[in-house]
Homo-oligomer: A and B are copies of this chain.
C-alpha cells in the first residue's frame, strides 16, 4: 500500500469513527458564524457546545474530544478565557484547532495570538494571509511583519503561505491547513494539496470558520494531519457538489450542509488530493 492509499484509509477511519463515537468538540468562536460552525460539526457526526467563560471553557476542554478556538469577534472576557483554555488543553495533551482570524487587527488579538505560541495548537487553520501573519508574529520562517490581512479576507495565494505553514507545523508538531482555491495541509514533513470547493464559499460567511470547527471534530478521532486533511476533503467535496445544484449563496449554504451530511467515508477519501515531500 502506497502512502496515498494509507492516507485514504486513515481518512476513512477518521470519518467512520466520528460517525460512531459522535465526539464533542467545544468551541470558543465568533458570533458571526457560530451557528454554521455548530451545524457543520453536527452534519459530519460530531457534537457541538459553545462557551465564553473561563471555567466553562476549561470544562469543555477537559471533557470534549477536541476544542476549536476562533479569535474572530473578541469580547473582553476572551482575555481571560483564551489563554486559560489554551494552557489547559496543552497541559492535558488535548487536541485543539486555532483559527487566527484577522490576525493583525487590534491589540488584544495580537496579545492572545502571541501567547498561543507556547501552547502549540494541534491544528492551525487560516487563509494564506493569516498563516503568513501568524508565522511572522511567532517569528518563524515564511512569516512577515507586513500583514496583508484586510479584515477577514486573504490577499495572498495559498502557495505563498507554504513556507510559513511548514514552519508553523514544525513548531507545533501538529498540522497546518491553509484554505484557498486549493487547500494546502502539512505536518511539516509532508504536504497535501486538496482540490474541489466552490466559488460560492467566498460568497458566504463562515466557510473557513466551520472548516476549523469540523477539523476539531476529526481531531478527536485522528492525528492532526489526517484530521485537517479530512476536514478539507469533505469541504471541497461538499462545496463542489452543492455548487452544481444551486444558483445563489443562500441556497448554496443550505445545500452545502446537506452535502456535508451525506458524504460517505469513501467519497471523502477519494476527493482528489496530491502529496509532496517538504
Spell out A's residues near B (CB within 8 Å): 24, 26, 30-36, 38-39, 42-43, 47-53, 55-56, 59-60, 63-64, 72-77, 102, 105-109, 150-153, 202-206, 246-251, 253-262
Instruction: Contact check, B24 vs A150: say whether CB atoms are below 8 A apart.
Output: yes
Partner of A73, one of B50, B59, B206: B50
Instruction: Contact check, A53 vs B38: say whether CB atoms are below 8 A apart.
Output: no
Q: How far is the CB of A262 from chain B (nearest CB, A)?
A: 6
Instruction: Contact check, B248 vs A26: say whether CB atoms are below 8 A apart.
Output: no
Q: How far is the CB of A124 from chain B (nearest CB, A)?
A: 20
Q: How far is the CB of A84 from chain B (nearest CB, A)?
A: 13
Instruction: Contact check, A33 vs B35: say whether CB atoms are below 8 A apart.
Output: yes
What are the 4 tightest A-B residue pairs by CB atom distance, in nearest-first order? A248-B258, A250-B257, A49-B151, A56-B106
Instruction: Contact check, A205 vs B56: say whether CB atoms are below 8 A apart.
Output: no
A259 neighbours in B (Cβ, 8 Å): 248
Complex Cα gap A43–B60 (Å): 33
A261 neighbours in B (Cβ, 8 Å): 203, 248-250
**Given A43-B203, A52-B74; A60-B105 close (CB under 8 Å):** yes
Complex Cα gap A61–B248 (Å): 29
CB-based nearest B residue for A253: B250
**Given A38-B32, A39-B204, A48-B205; A55-B107 close (CB under 8 Å):** yes
A203 neighbours in B (Cβ, 8 Å): 42-43, 261
Instruction: Contact check, B73 vs A43: say whether CB atoms are below 8 A apart.
Output: no
Instruction: Contact check, B205 vs A42: say whether CB atoms are below 8 A apart.
Output: yes
A75 neighbours in B (Cβ, 8 Å): 52-53, 75, 77
Instruction: Contact check, A151 vs B24: say whether CB atoms are below 8 A apart.
Output: yes
A257 neighbours in B (Cβ, 8 Å): 248-251, 253
CB-based nearest B residue for A254: B250
Known contacts A38-B205, A47-B151; can you find 9 more A-B pairs with CB under 8 A? A24-B153, A32-B50, A33-B35, A43-B248, A47-B150, A51-B106, A56-B106, A60-B105, A203-B261
CB-based nearest B residue for A153: B47
Instruction: Contact check, A63 vs B150: say whether CB atoms are below 8 A apart.
Output: yes
Complex Cα gap A257–B203 (Å): 10
Complex Cα gap A31–B174 (Å): 31
Instruction: Contact check, B262 vs A258: say whether CB atoms are below 8 A apart.
Output: no
Complex Cα gap A73–B75 (Å): 13
A60 neighbours in B (Cβ, 8 Å): 105, 151
Instruction: Contact check, A53 vs B258: say whether CB atoms are below 8 A apart.
Output: no
